[in-house]
Structure 1
């Protein structure tokens, strides 16, 4: 039998056991939320930052009313200050009056605090005087701004053109008056001998249909402006015609494009004090007009011409002994009912300082008394007023105060102003024809044919007396002179200009002929009488000498006074 493999019975614990409590769960909160929430938080932060940056970078929004759109558009037209962008147009709309436009402009933050009262906005388009603005032809206009300190205003009035900003330097303001400003405009430069010294601030049309121009001259150049200073429009090409021929003056490119004003003070008026603030001056159209226009010191006179004067214009020159001493102030046609004739009444101004006094003396006061005394003396010596021209035919008409040989006694005629007596004369084609006819008539009346006949008889007799070379040369010279005289006499009626050209040559030849003939007479005087029919020899030589003298006098006069072909010679 196998051993007993039955397991023993289990042991029984006398004391029953209690099961332990199950373990409890413990939770711990994380210090950070889940990573998924980081994305929206980051997005919110970025948006907030961008919004803050945009708000801080954007300046105030302003409203500007312009008189016209002139090409400005929303989201394209910039506001610029000193060449930098400081704003942009956000919207543009037409006002109810259909004349103005309202522009909403967003300014940059840098302009905050600089948009106070007085701030100016303007539309800046292409301007030939400002070459840098020409690029606006392609990119469109911009809006300029001149800031002023202070808070932002609700609305601003825009300008159609750039204003003239006051110079930040000392100087003086003057007023220029003109009937027509020409090319002068706000912003035009003011020059003194091609040097920039100031600016035109404004040009205003007044009720009397003239223009008032506000001019500013910087310091220290205001010391160059005196009471007698002359201003003129220097922005155009100046063309003039005088005795020296045609003259053309070209200005600088900025002056031609943007207009300019120039000024100068006559030498006789530059010693006075500088002109005060606000002094008014006349703006002349050209340098010549400004230089010769009668000033406050001019002494006025009048002359009365016939209608042949040719219509003297205001500003025409008044010349004394060939030098310009004044200008015509007024000229008008007057009908004299007593005589039934037309007259041209001319008022002219003569400036005493243009006539120097001997011994270093100067004109005193207004110069009226001294100038009247001078005129009385000159008129007593034969001074008369005549219509003339600086250039025959093509030159402008003027007044010439010249001495007339054989003038009838006259004096300064009392009046307001006093009247200077005139001498007969003419201008234009009628005057030329009368003068030429008079010269031809005088030459026709010369006994040239008689002198030639007598001289030919004389030469024939002298040739029979001697065959010496010296006498032969003298006779040849005499024969040549006679041939010239006969040719001149034959052509005098049809070729007066050619006759005038040959006057001096004929006179010289005639003089040599007389000298040779007299020498021949002296040489043969000791050899007995030249002939039996020589009673007229002395008279013939005398007539020839007088003819030569007349020709020379006429040639000399025409050389000194070429305008005598216009006026005739008294």
Structure 2
């Protein structure tokens, strides 16, 4: 059985090709993706690597890099270094932040911090830590930076100027410690470092504008930390800047007599004094070292004690010691002092005669009685200082101008003289024979005791014999007084007779006065009698 032949297939003519609408969705998505990639690549800036000791607070893909609170990049990756000493943080910067690849750019992690400059980074408690940046100015670029462990005190966009301060040590100061002008905070310490010779430190301070114009070439800086206590004749004086300065330390500055000189240029170096008093004093000028020998105790005297001339401090004690004089076979106490003659010249009304040298002047002053003496400066603390003054009654002394340092004669103080006098009195008292005197005194006391006993017996006999007679005499006196009282009473006969007698005397005196008046008028009556008698 045979199969019929297959029919030829019908051929249809193909229509013109048109894509289906469903393909439009992936095409549009692809175009958008390409656009985003191109835009991302065009906006993408350089990549940099930051190294920190720890990655605390950092998170890849989330931690931002900010400058003035504007995000300029993002942390892409965090990994540990091969030696495990630090972490390496890969940061992707934006295109507009390409200037942050300058070699002197600084980066640091912003976290909550409490330091001498105050509390910072509190906003990161909610938003998390981020990396802060300070743009550099160098023309050289770099792709790797070492991050700062603490934020810089002064950023490059801050307005003001920096100055250098030389000091022996930093004391209680630290980076961020405030700088005050008239108790107003005008700056802070930006950095400090040890000098190359190890004999001091150099501090870099930043004074904000516009206060930097008050820093002149004659400005004085001093430690304002803690309390500046002064105990003098006027009482107790305490000076300080603020409570923060007392606790954390600080620096203050001012010009002498409030007269600022020319404005100091940036990076001008100044000396940092220990306190305001030493900072504001005038320059001392050249110094002169002198040697003093005291034959007494130096208790209370210490290096740094003042040396004054009648209340004016002209130097200080540098060192004290002890020496044994083999010739005299005794110990001497040498004291080395450093004085500044210019301190007296500034107060002198006349200039020294240029014809005489400094040694000639010292020789003349010593001849006039110039001596050094130890005196008590404070009775409470027992501190002693060296006083230089004139003692006209001091034994003559000659200055040896060949010695170096120059030896200035000394004089004992009044307390030592008083002690010597007391010692001499005690020595004389020891020579008094107190045992013999006490024996004689006991004998005298015994004799006096016997005398007192005899006196007591005599008084007792007088009481027994004389007392009755004295009682009878007192009775007679009382009777006599009673009789006299009756005699002189107002109603007594004697008083009445006396009154009558006085009346008769009064009448007689009146008659006598009449007779006297008549005789004055008629003296002839003594011879002729009264005229009336003749008529009769």
1:323 Cα deviation from its structure 2 partner: 2.8
Instruction: Please give the residue correspondences for 1:279-290 in structure 2 after superposition, counting only pairs within 5 Å.
Output: 282-290=271-279
The 1-side partners of 2:355 and 2:80 are apart by: 65
Do structure 1's residue 406 and structure 2's residue 396 form an aligned pair?
no
1:252 Cα deviation from its structure 2 partner: 3.4
**2:291–2:334: 8 Å Cα contact kept in structure 1?**
no
Do structure 1's residue 74 and structure 2's residue 48 form an aligned pair?
no
**1:299–1:352: 8 Å Cα contact kept in structure 2?**
no
**1:185–1:200: 8 Å Cα contact kept in structure 2?**
yes
Do structure 1's residue 223 and structure 2's residue 216 form an aligned pair?
yes
Instruction: Please give the residue correspondences for 1:260-271 in structure 2 after superposition, counting only pairs within 5 Å.
Output: 260-263=250-253
Do structure 1's residue 419 and structure 2's residue 404 form an aligned pair?
no
**1:63–1:103: 8 Å Cα contact kept in structure 2?**
yes
In structure 1, the residue matched to 2:146 is: 157
**2:303–2:320: 8 Å Cα contact kept in structure 1?**
no
**1:232–1:261: 8 Å Cα contact kept in structure 2?**
yes
Q: CA 1:344–1:278 in 2, change beyond 3 Å: closer, same or farther?
A: farther
1:115 Cα deviation from its structure 2 partner: 1.4
1:433 Cα deviation from its structure 2 partner: 9.2
**1:171–1:222: 8 Å Cα contact kept in structure 2?**
no
| Secondary structure, counterpart of 1:113 in structure 2 | helix
Q: CA 1:403–1:337 in 2, change beyond 3 Å: closer, same or farther?
A: closer
Instruction: Please give the residue correspondences for 1:122-521 in structure 2 after superposition, counting only pairs within 5 Å.
Output: 122-124=108-110, 126-131=113-118, 133=120, 135=122, 138=125, 142-148=130-136, 153-163=142-152, 164-165=154-155, 173-174=163-164, 176-178=166-168, 180-191=169-180, 193-194=182-183, 200-206=189-195, 208-215=197-204, 220-225=213-218, 231-252=221-242, 255-256=245-246, 259-263=249-253, 282-290=271-279, 295-306=284-295, 308-310=297-299, 312-328=301-317, 330-338=318-326, 339-350=329-340, 352-353=342-343, 356-359=346-349, 361=350, 378-394=365-381, 396-404=383-391, 406-410=393-397, 412-414=399-401, 415-425=403-413, 434=419
**1:233–1:283: 8 Å Cα contact kept in structure 2?**
yes
1:274 Cα deviation from its structure 2 partner: 8.9
1:127 Cα deviation from its structure 2 partner: 4.3
Q: CA 1:173–1:371 in 2, change beyond 3 Å: closer, same or farther?
A: farther
Q: CA 1:259–1:70 in 2, change beyond 3 Å: closer, same or farther?
A: farther
**1:175–1:278: 8 Å Cα contact kept in structure 2?**
no
The 1-side partners of 2:291 and 2:124 are apart by: 57
Q: CA 1:201–1:53 in 2, change beyond 3 Å: closer, same or farther?
A: same
**1:122–1:143: 8 Å Cα contact kept in structure 2?**
yes
The count of corresponding residues between Structure 1 and Structure 2 is: 404
Show CA shifts across 1:360-391 (max 9, x none): x5689xx9978766655554444432233432
Do structure 1's residue 39 and structure 2's residue 1 form an aligned pair?
no
Q: Structure 2 length as normaliser, TM-score?
A: 0.60
Q: CA 1:337–1:436 in 2, change beyond 3 Å: closer, same or farther?
A: closer
**2:48–2:101: 8 Å Cα contact kept in structure 1?**
no
1:292 Cα deviation from its structure 2 partner: 6.2
The 1-side partners of 2:241 and 2:417 are apart by: 38
| Secondary structure, counterpart of 1:159 in structure 2 | coil
Show CA shifts across 1:255-279 (max 9, x none): 4566433345667xx9999999877
Task: Give the unaligned 5+ runs of structure 2.
Answer: 1-11, 430-536
Do structure 1's residue 104 and structure 2's residue 90 form an aligned pair?
yes
The 2-side partners of 1:196 and 1:411 are apart by: 57
Show CA shifts across 1:292-351 (max 9, x none): 6984434443333356222543432222212323333x1131323424414142222225
Show CA shifts across 1:409-441 (max 9, x none): 3355534343332221389xxx79949968999
Q: CA 1:356–1:144 in 2, change beyond 3 Å: closer, same or farther?
A: same
Which is higher, the Rg of structure 1 or of structure 2?
Answer: 2
**1:320–1:402: 8 Å Cα contact kept in structure 2?**
yes
RCO (CA 8 Å, sep 6+): is it higher in 1 or 2? 1
| Secondary structure, counterpart of 1:43 in structure 2 | helix
